[in-house]
Amino acid sequence: MEKQSGSSGEMEWSEVRIKSIKSEGFNVETVEYKNISFTVWDVGGQDKIRPLWRHYFQNTQGLIFVVDSNDRERVNEAREELMRMLAEDELRDAVLLVFANKQDLPNAMNAAEITDKLGLHSLRHRSWYIQATCATSGDGLYEGLDWLSNQLRNQK
């Protein structure tokens, strides 16, 4: 999925319609998929802005956590941050979709390995799903969004 440059942009990516608004350190996007409108806060992963993440947790119904499957050195850091977020009271009822991204790279960890490294099987009281993806080609993105859409529809 390409990002638009500039202060705002709109793009259509087959069945996914995305409208972006750039903001200080964060991107806010409205994503429409299968008649569900998602407000997406792309908070990035920079160390210095992680303490600010919690300000965006209120009213969160679903969390998409994107993991660089090729970065074996930082997967433990990803686990720590994910578990820290999931411990927040505001995310208590949020479903979790993990995109195991960069599957096109030869040394990428597969979804089963990412599941193990992130400790997803320990999440017994939360709906979660992991999807192998390649954001540059779009592989796996629809499958993940389908799962998330179904989960959110069933919550209503």
**Binding-site annotation, residues for Mg(2+):** 23
Distance, in Å, from the CA atom of 101 to the CA atom of 118, rounded to the nearest integer, reads 14
Provide the β-strand partners of residue 129.
Answer: 97
- Catalytic option among 4, 46, 61, 155: 46
Q: Give binding residues for GTP as ranges.
A: 45, 101-104
* Number of neighbours of residue 85 by Cβ within 10 angstroms: 19
Q: Which residues participate in the annotated binding site?
A: 23, 45, 101-104
Long-range CB pairs of 150-153 (<8 Å, 24+ gap) are 151/62, 151/95, 151/127, 152/36, 152/61, 152/62, 152/95, 153/36
For residue 46, indicate whether it is catalytic: yes
Residue with the two structure tokens 């009213």 = 59
Query: What residues act catalytically?
Result: 46
